[in-house]
Amino acid sequence: QVQLVQSGAEVKEPGASVKVSCKASGYTFTDYYMHWVRQAPGQGLEWMAWINPNSGDTNYAQKFQGRVTVSRDTSISTAYMDLSRLRSDDTAVYYCVRDLTNSNVGDCWGQGTLVTVSS
Amino acid sequence: DVVMTQSPLSLPVTLGQPASISCRSSQSLVYSDGNTYLNWFQQRPGQSPGRLIYKVSNRDSGVPDRFSGSGSGTDFTLKISRVEAEDVGVYYCMQHTHWPPTFGQGTKLEIK
């Protein structure tokens, strides 16, 4: 079955970087875009970026421009989200989502990765 | 960015009774291809979100038919005809007609 498995929780200091991974299985990784969405504690959902795993093309929310980088390794069907210059308000659960904006296929979300930014 | 405004933010409902959630967008969500890209997601406690409804009124596979979506332009509604215990959670609308995709604040449904 289609599955996205994300890396484990992270604790980082302000100013550091974090890299979250998302391993896909059960489908052809390069056939579907991968999006990243985050959810601060007790808050709503916020779209961050997507990557086309086939071409490597990316698109970022303006809010995160210059701080976020999404990438992929097609040989291991894994997408990555790298967020730099972390601040306390970056504390959130980060989700990878297969093809969030494709109405023609069902969505699939990773289990989420909690990133805590604290000194 | 398009602002999505949901109401109410908290929705206590008696089991077996109907529930309705409103979602309004700051701009029309009709795309140039004629489609309206408004989705609804459910997030059960402790779980990742999952899509219920796409393009206003289309239920995803496996979604019970007690869930229905309607609306047009800037005003949309998610209805649950008879609330069951498993429906507890937070419901989000999301538009992807305009870039970037944006979500509503969420509506927390609880059993009264």
Q: Which 8-state DSSP code applies to residue B97?
A: S
Q: pLDDT band at B23, cuts 50/70/90?
A: very high
Q: What is the pLDDT of residues B71-85, one digit of tens each?
A: 999 999 999 999 999
- Average pLDDT of span B77-100: 97
- Average pLDDT of span B15-38: 97
Q: pLDDT band at A105, cuts 50/70/90?
A: confident
Measured in Å, how far apart are chain B's first and last C-alpha atoms? 35
Cα distances (angstroms) measured from residue A104 to each of A95, A99, B15, B53: 21, 9, 33, 12
Q: pLDDT band at B31, cuts 50/70/90?
A: very high
Asked whether the predicted pLDDT for residue B7 surpasses 90, the reply is yes
Asked whether the predicted pLDDT for residue A103 surpasses 90, the reply is no
- Average pLDDT of span B44-52: 96
Q: Which 8-state DSSP code applies to residue B3?
A: -
Asked whether the predicted pLDDT for residue B47 surpasses 90, the reply is yes
Q: pLDDT band at B97, cuts 50/70/90?
A: very high
Between chain A and chain B, the number of residue pairs with CB atoms below 8 A apart is 44
**% residues pLDDT > 90 (chain B):** 100
Q: CB contact, 8 Å: A36 with chain B? A: no
Question: In one letter, which amino acid is B9?
Answer: L
Paired with B13 in beta bridges are: B111
Q: CB contact, 8 Å: A44 with chain B? A: yes
State the pLDDT at residue B4: 98
Q: What is the pLDDT of residues A52-82, one digit of tens each?
A: 999 999 999 999 989 999 999 999 999 999 9
The count of C-alpha atoms lying within 13 angstroms of the C-alpha of A102, restricted to the half-sphere facing its C-beta, is 15
Please judge whether B55 and A103 are an interchain contact, meaning their C-beta atoms are less than 8 angstroms apart: yes
Please judge whether B106 and A46 are an interchain contact, meaning their C-beta atoms are less than 8 angstroms apart: no
Which chain A residues are within 8 Å of B49, Cβ to Cβ? Answer: 45, 95, 109
State the pLDDT at residue B50: 96
Which chain A residues are within 8 Å of B104, Cβ to Cβ? Answer: 44
CA angle, residues A74, A80, A115, in degrees to nearest 5: 155
State the pLDDT at residue B96: 96
- Average pLDDT of span A15-22: 98
| Facing residue for A45 by CB, picked from B54, B92, B96 | B92
Distance from CA of A9 to the nearest CA of B (A): 15
Q: CB contact, 8 Å: A2 with chain B? A: no
Contacts of A88 (CB under 8 A, 6+ apart): A14, A117, A118
